[in-house]
Amino acid sequence: MAFEWKDRYKLDIEEIDKQHRRLFDIGARVYDLAVLNDSYDHYDEITQLIVELLDYTEYHFTFEENLLEKYNYGELDKQKHEHEFYVRKIKSISSKDIDADQKQATLEIVDFLSEWISSHILFSDRKYAVYFKENGINV
Ligand SMILES: [Fe+2]
Ligand SMILES: [Fe+2]
C-alpha cells in the first residue's frame, strides 16, 4: 500500500521521525481518497491534500537542511538536490492528473511519491543519522 509507514524508516531522531511520519500520514490520506471507488468526485479534496503535502514537505526539507548545515554535514548539497527534485515532482501534479477520469494517473503519481520518500529516508536520510551518531551529535 502506498504511503504506509514502516518502523524501519525510523532514524531515532525524535523530531525528524515525527515529521517523516506526518509526511506519510498526509500521503496516506491522498492515497485513500485516490483509491475510493464510490460515485463521488474527490477532486477538490485531493487537490487540497496535495497542497498540504507540498507545504509540509517543504517545511520538513527546510528544517532538515538547516539541521544538516548547523552540524556541518558533508552531503548537504546532495540532500538539497534530492529535495528539490521531489518538490518539483509534487508541483508538477497538474489538475488534469487528478481529474476523476484520471484515477490511474493519480495513483501512479502517489505511488511514485511514496516510493521516492521511502528510499530517500532509508538511504539518504539514514546517512546523516549515522553521521550524527558517529560524531556524538544529539539533536
Ligand atoms: Fe532528506
Ligand atoms: Fe527527511
Mean per-residue pLDDT, 94-100: 72
Higher confidence at residue 77 or residue 108?
77
Alpha carbon of 62 to ligand 1 centroid (Å): 9
Alpha carbon of 39 to ligand 1 centroid (Å): 38
User: Which three cell numbers mark 97?
Assistant: 492528473
What was the pLDDT predicted at 39? 76
Alpha carbon of 61 to ligand 1 centroid (Å): 6
Nearest ligand (C-alpha, residue 17): 2
Cite the DSSP H helix spans in 71-102.
76-91
Query: Percent of the chain having pLDDT more than 70?
Result: 98
Within 10 A of 107 (CB to CB), how many other CB atoms are there?
15
User: Which three cell numbers mark 18?
Assistant: 515525527
Alpha carbon of 99 to ligand 1 centroid (Å): 30
What was the pLDDT predicted at 100? 61
Whether residue 101 has pLDDT greater than 70: no
First to last CA, the chain: 32
Q: Which letter does DSSP use for residue 9 in this model?
A: G
What was the pLDDT predicted at 36? 86
Domains annotated for the chain, with CATH where assigned, are: 7-134 (1.20.120.50)
- What pLDDT digit, counting tens, does each position of 41-68 carry? 788 898 999 999 999 999 999 999 999 9
Average pLDDT, the chain: 92
Within 10 A of 44 (CB to CB), how many other CB atoms are there?
9
